[in-house]
Amino acid sequence: MTTDKNWPKVAVVGAGAVGGYFGGLLARAGAPVTMIGRPAFVEAVRKSGLRLDTVQFQETVHPAASTELSDTAGADYVLFCVKTTDTALVSKELAKYISPSTVVLSLQNGVNNAEEIRKASGIEAISTVVYVAASAPSPGTVKHLGRGDLVIGPHSPKVEQTAEFFSRAKLPCRISDNIDGELWTKLVWNCALNAVSGLGRVTYGEIIASEDAKRVVEAVVYEVLAVAKKKGIQPPGLEDPKTAIAGAFLIGQQMSGTRSSTAQDMARGKRTEIDSLNGYIARLGAELGVPVPVNHTLYTLVKLQEANF
């Protein structure tokens, strides 16, 4: 694998499973990629490269790797993949090094990351909906279990150019003019499955195999859609809650062997992104006067466990 000077330069900030997967595939396509990550990750990549264990292929790529945000300088694209708990701090620091023309894409869970990035740093990030099942079982290794596509928007010259860039690297990227709704569609699935997987220490397939767990999933979906409706958000294709519930079950079947990112964090004793998922719905529900007892319960139980990490 060699980089091509005709490719835009890419920096991945927060090179974990998601950043490792998309950054790794960009590097595989020939783009010059610098991955900003933790010392163990950087050491592994510098020594042996980044191992991509995907459902289509197994290959090692050799992007640059650094622990320093200053090495984002000169990047044309930044894939912003840090945990939502670190969004404000990292984006404020990132703004010191990138140029006004740098395109920053938020590849994060939750629905308001672009707004949080702008508030903290002044960076006008592009909201990006990420659909990929991936994990980082060891430093320098990404295990890909399914999907690997992106949704960005709304239409603009910068967004269209970005979609073409991803497509050139054979990474599916769709543009939507209802990007808020698309973000909420992902939020529905995350709220429905992530905390249950983490608290139950189970895969998505095990959730779908349990009638009691499926009832919890159903209750979560109804609550999230009620909050979305009150807020004036329409997740595309989820006008009927039954369709949304069927979608959650389908994801559980398609990614049956996957444990949620919340479950992976909890297993490692790390803080989760629950505040941006069920916790966000709990807060917004209270603000809008929409009862969301199941989301609040899941959020509270995860936070209680986090307090012991």
- For the chain, list the domains and their CATH numbers: 10-177 (3.40.50.720), 180-306 (1.10.1040.10)
> pTM for the complete prediction?
0.91
What value does the mean pLDDT take over residues 235-252? 91
Catalytic residue among 92, 186, 229, 230: 186
Burial (CB count within 10 angstroms: exposed 0-12, middle 13-18, buried 19+), residue 57: exposed
Cβ 24 vs Cβ 49: under 8 Å:
no
For β-strands 103-106 and 58-61, DSSP reports them as unpaired
pLDDT of residue 238: 87
Whether 290 has a pLDDT exceeding 80, the answer reads yes
Task: Give how far Cα 257 sits from Cα of 35, 167, 202, 249, 298, Å.
Answer: 28, 28, 9, 13, 22
Q: What is the mean pLDDT of the chain?
A: 94
pLDDT one-digit tens code per residue, 144-166 = 988 899 999 999 999 999 999 99
158 has catalytic annotation: no
CA distance 184 to 278: 12
- Label residue 3 by pLDDT band (50, 70, 90): low
Whether 141 has a pLDDT exceeding 60, the answer reads yes
